[in-house]
Chains A and B, each alone.
Chain A
Amino acid sequence: MKSRFKLALAALVAGSAALGAAFAPGDAAAQGVSFKGKTVSIVVFSPPGAPPDLWFRQIGPYLSKHLPGNPEVRYINKGGGGSVVAANYTYNALKPDGTNVGSFNAPGAAESVRGKRKVQFDTSKMSFIGAQTITRIVGFRGDSGTTDLNSFVKATKKHLIGLQAADTPYYEAFYRIMGIDYQVFSAYPRFAQRLQAMRTGEINTTPFAHLTWVQNLSTYKKTDFHAVYQMGYMDGSGEIVPVTVGGMDKVPTGHSIVKKHKPKAVGSRDWKIMTSVAAGQGVAREVWAPPGTEAKYVAAWRKAFVATSNDAQYKADHQKAWGVPMSWIPGDVGEPIVKKYLDMNRPGAF
């Protein structure tokens, strides 16, 4: 009950902030901006045709509708390097004249604080426009013996987990805390290969993007897949909370499981590792303006994204296409989350 109250409160805070961003300061800050007759560009961090690319192509016409002057929207695909290529391009190659923004994902943003030499961008000098929330729902095969939280906590059978390399630390830390026997397989190049491995029983558990899970719920039920826990995401209050769309509110987060069943582990190094990964899910697909972009343009972009996320037609399109409503974190709400996430991923943070 207490956590539901917290959730509602967090949603209220985020909602108010979104409304605030949409109508109050944004309106004033974006005064005098018009893109009439211009073309605006969005750098997309995936190759053409990949899900992020299609997501941006779907949102493009609505952004055009809500940006002042209704400019044309074009896309520059800069896939690769775990989205660092797109981040580098956004930082170094885009003109900061207000017509350009770039996108990259949360692990890509985290690269900026790890001091790697291939990283040529600094988020502290860029302007955060906003981000889409995407988290992971962890599905299990029925014959794994784990079909719900109870059987997960008491698991005796080894969990064979198919993962993406970037997410691996979260699951390893979680399993260490829970004391469940596990083995990680992180070589599958794409989700499709993991799905095939799940179907044949080569692995018995794997995370699904929550959009994918909700979209294919009926098929997965027939295939005897079960959603047991989720990674959740960090909200404005700094808590890791579950996504609630499509009945996912009944699927607990890894953090809540640890709190309930292994309370002594809260605050441990492994807990911090889990948090450092989960924090990025709230701001999974980020949009940034290059350094030097004037505040009025940043405000215009922020306002356009928020207006799009509230656009009834877009909401319906998004629901139809992705199975869930668009969950957009506006720039001013997301900024502190991004900062926390980056701080957690600095070398020596644990």
Chain B
Amino acid sequence: MGVILFIAGAFVNGFYKVFTWPVFPMMMIGIVAGMIVGLIPGLGGLIAHILLIPFALQMDPLNAYVMLLGVYAVTTQTDSIPAVLLGVPGTAAALATSLDGYPMAKRGEAGRALCASYYASILGTFVATAIFILFLPGLRALVNNFSSPEFFMLVMLGLVMASSLSGKSAARGLLMGGLGLMISMIGQAPGTGDTRFAGPFLYLWEGMPLIPIVLGLFAVPEVIDLAIRNTTIASSEVGRKVSGLWTGFVDCARNWWLVVKCSVVGVITGFIPGLGGAVAEWMSYAIAVASDKNPDSFGKGNVRGVIAPETGTASHKPGAIIPTVAFGIPGNNAMAVLLVVFVIIGLRPGPEMLDTQLDLTFTMVSVVIVGNIVAALLALILQRWLVMLCFIRANLLVPFILAAMIVGATFARLSFGDIMVFLAAGTLGYVFKHADWPRVPLVMGLIMGRIAEPYLFSTVDRYNYEWLYTRPIVVVLIIFICMALAAPYYRRWRNKGAPGPRIRGS
């Protein structure tokens, strides 16, 4: 009880600091910068961070932390706006949201989908914070039990969950997941540094770039179809009148148990270093599908398909701060960049961040909480106008979307190769979409393959094959993987031959 009181006290102190001068305005600068950048598909928080780093280096450490964390807090929240309204997921984190959010937008329910996503983010952050305060000591112990075998199996679980969601043909999903894994092997091999499948292209040494592939596979087919139709995105006029403010809230309240479950997933995956938001998002999405009475409705505009990934991503974020500041091990890619900046500014990661400096750690977590709420409120205020995007004719909208996508796909590396990959992925995405081959497992294979392969190397080198049956967490994860693989077949058997969950457009 004493420990919890100490943690709660540190949280109150940390939370209070966010509202002091000049911490609060600094955080707002970060939030606004993050929101603007998050709206442009593909740019993500990194660009906003890079723009703000020169200022951060000159600032008082606390102000610099909150400004950069303000960006971190909101970019994955605003990237759901183009994902829902335009079907353009600018990051891997917005991919799951777009699967059900975009069909809702086409139905004229963009406002409802966006509001559900904002409320899910807010609730997810609150639940995640409560979990922290209650279970911080246990979470510390959990991190200490995660070595290469556990990391590998957890990533595999994420991949299998995403792949097995891909419809009546789980085989197609797994095949596409395998293709993604193969693509992830392009570039330098972990362990030896040898280049594989790179041919004569130096460009491929670092592997295939993720953002041009995500934008190409998912956004290009939507834009082509929109251009061919030459209509507005939303065919219904209902959405123009209903902002969805209340409906989205009711959706979240009705699905409170889903929010709690996805928050737990987000916290755990955030706390375990290196997993990234994509694992949280897809595990959450899989939970939503698996626990729904009508799994067939996912991919066609089921609001639970928006709530679950948004909750998972939002609750993942505060969690990822802890391993970064306490162990110097970034919880995700964004935190990897922030860690270097924080260290330059003066932060010294160490166990004292969970002890004598816990209030500073909670100030950082609080920025994410407040940032999420502020961004959601701002987005709700702007909602009415944002939704109008769905009612602009294609011939006016498509050139702007295309331009934004090309900027987003190439901005990070300024490479001609990125444009070529974007175009190739766009062509493949169009073919896959219309040939009904799921694209999500391909992207997940690409993301997860990069995380999993080094861990597999290290695991086999270090433990031979004993790790498969001697490590309890690994055994539990293997059981979960088997269940995820068997789930579509079990569901089909239970429904007496009816098709399994089919995620349209995935």
| A322 lies within 8 A of chain B by Cβ | yes
Smallest Cβ distance from B327 to chain A, in angstroms? 7
Q: Does A262 contact B (CB under 8 A)?
A: no
Contact B54 A200 (CB under 8 A): no
Name the distance in Å between A139's Cβ and chain B's nearest Cβ: 13
Is there a chain A Cβ closer than 8 Å to B190's Cβ? yes
Q: Which residues of A contact B343 (CB under 8 A)?
A: 215, 321
A189 contacts B190, C-beta separation under 8 Å: yes
Residues of A within 8 A of B190 (CB): 165, 186-189
Contact yes or no, A187 B205, CB < 8 A: no
B456: nearest chain-A partner, CB-CB: A187
Contact A197 B148, CB 8 Å, known A165-B192, A187-B190, A202-B462: yes
> Shortest CB–CB separation between residue B74 and chain A, in angstroms?
18
Min Cβ gap A183→B in Å is 7
| CA of A200 to CA of B485, assembled, Å | 30
By a CB distance below 8 angstroms, the chain B residues around A190 are: 336
Size bin of chain A's contact surface: 35 or more
Q: Is there a chain B Cβ closer than 8 Å to A57's Cβ? A: yes
Check A216 against B330 for contact (C-beta < 8 Å): no
Residue contact B273 to A192, C-beta cutoff 8 Å: yes
Is B349 a contact partner of A202 (Cβ separation < 8 A)?
no
Chain B residues whose C-beta falls within 8 Å of the C-beta of A173 in the assembled complex: none
List the A residue with the shortest CB-CB distance to B323.
A196
Residue pair A82, B193 in contact (C-beta under 8 Å)? yes
Kindly list chain A residues whose C-beta atoms are within 8 Å of the C-beta of B341: 49, 54
Query: Residues of A contacting B413 with CB < 8 Å?
Result: 47, 77-79
In the complex, the answer to whether B50 meets A192 with C-beta atoms within 8 Å is no
Q: Does B365 contact A (CB under 8 A)?
A: no
Contact of A76 among B203, B414, B454 (CB under 8 A): B414
Q: Is the CB of A219 within 8 A of B348?
A: yes
Residues from chain A with a CB closer than 8 A to the CB of B340 are 49-51, 54
B350 contact from A54, A57, A218, A320, Cβ within 8 A: A218
Are the C-beta atoms of B458 and A320 separated by less than 8 Å? no
Is B495 part of the contact surface with A, judged by Cβ < 8 Å?
A: no
Q: How far is B412's CA from A127's CA once the two chains are assembled, in angstroms?
A: 28
Instruction: Decide if B57 is an interface residue (CB 8 Å cutoff).
Output: yes
Q: Does A1 contact B (CB under 8 A)?
A: no
> Counting CB contacts under 8 A, is B436 at the interface?
no
| A4 CB-CB contact with B under 8 Å | no
Cβ-defined contact, A199 with B327, below 8 A: yes
Using Cβ atoms and an 8 Å threshold, which residues of chain B touch A322? 344
Contact B202 A81 (CB under 8 A): yes
| Interface pick from B139-147, B284-292, B397-405 | B139-147
Q: When the two chains form their complex, are residues A160 and B206 in contact, meaning their CB atoms are under 8 A apart?
A: no
Q: Which of B50, B57, B202, B348 touches A48 (beta carbons < 8 Å)?
A: B50
Q: Is the CB of B348 within 8 A of A165?
A: no
Q: Point out the residues of chain A lying under 8 angstroms from B350, CB to CB.
A: 216, 218-219, 222
**Interface mask (A176-210 → B, CB under 8 Å = 1, otherwise 0):** 00000001011111101101110111110000000
Considering only residues 62-103 of chain A, those with a C-beta below 8 Å from chain B are: 76-82, 84-85, 88
**Does chain B have a CB within 8 A of A118?**
yes
Q: Is B498 interfacial (CB 8 A cutoff)? A: no
State the CA gap A266–B132 with chains docked (Å). Answer: 55
- Identify the interface centre among B54, B340, B352, B457: most chain A CB within 10 Å of its CB: B340
User: Do the beta carbons of A80 and B274 come within 8 Å of each other?
Assistant: no
User: With a CB–CB cut-off of 8 A, which chain B residues contact A61?
Assistant: 54
Quote the shortest CB–CB distance from B472 to chain A (angstroms). Answer: 15
Tell me whether B49 is interfacial, beta carbon within 8 Å. Answer: yes
Q: Is the CB of A185 within 8 A of B458?
A: yes
B466 within 8 A of A: no
Cα distance A42–B226 when bound, in Å?
Answer: 42
Distance (whole angstroms) from the CB of B402 to the closest CB of chain A? 24
Expressed in whole angstroms, the minimum distance between the Cβ of A132 and any Cβ of chain B is 15
**For the complex, what is the distance from the CA of A84 to the CA of B327, rounded to whole Å?**
32
Task: Let me know if A31 is at the binding interface, CB within 8 A.
Answer: no
A166 contacts the other chain (Cβ, under 8 Å)? Answer: yes
In the assembled complex, which residues on chain A have CB atoms less than 8 Å from the CB atom of B193? 82, 165-166
| B63 CB, nearest partner CB in chain A, Å | 16
Contact call A48/B412, Cβ cutoff below 8 A: yes
Cα–Cα, bound, A185→B456 (Å): 11
A58 contacts the other chain (Cβ, under 8 Å)?
yes
Q: What is the minimal beta-carbon distance from A91 to any residue of chain B, in angstroms?
A: 12
Give the CA-CA distance A201 to B63 in the complex, in Å: 36
CB <8 Å contact, A195 and B202: no
Complex alpha-carbon distance, A50 and B476, angstroms: 36
Interchain CB contact (< 8 A) of B49 among A49, A160, A215, A320: A49
Which residues between 444 and 497 of chain B lie within 8 Å of chain A, taking CB atoms? 450, 453-455, 457-458, 461-462
Q: Which of A49, A50, A76, A195 lies at the interface centre, i.e. has the most chain B CB atoms within 10 A of its CB?
A: A49
Q: In the complex, what residues of A have CB within 8 A of residue B346's CB?
A: 320
Interface centre among A190, A193, A201, A203 (most CB of B within 10 A): A193
The reply to whether A187 and B191 form a contact with Cβ atoms under 8 Å apart is yes
Q: What is the bound-complex CA distance between A120 and B203, given in angstroms?
A: 13
Cα–Cα distance between A310 and B146 once the two chains are bound (Å): 45
A197 to B327, CA, bound (A): 12
Contact with B along A34-58 (1 / 0, CB 8 A): 0000000000000111110010011
Given contacts A82-B193, A196-B329, contact A215 B50 (CB under 8 A): no
Contacts of A84 in B (CB 8 A): 202, 205
Most chain B CB within 10 A, of A48, A57, A222, is at A48
Contact of B147 among A79, A166, A200 (CB under 8 A): A200
Q: Which residue of chain B is the closest to A88 with respect to CB atoms? A: B202
Distance to closest chain A CB from B271 (angstroms)? 12
A118 touches B200 (CB 8 A): yes
Chain A nearest Cβ from B22, distance in angstroms = 21
Which residues 44-82 in B have Cβ within 8 Å of A in the complex? 46-47, 49-50, 53-54, 57
Considering the complex of A and B, which 10 residue pairs feature the smallest CB-CB distances, nearest first?
Answer: A187-B457, A49-B337, A219-B350, A165-B193, A80-B206, A187-B191, A81-B205, A321-B344, A187-B190, A187-B454
**11 contacting pairs across A/B (C-beta < 8 A):** A48-B49, A61-B54, A77-B414, A78-B413, A81-B202, A82-B188, A82-B193, A85-B203, A118-B200, A165-B192, A195-B329
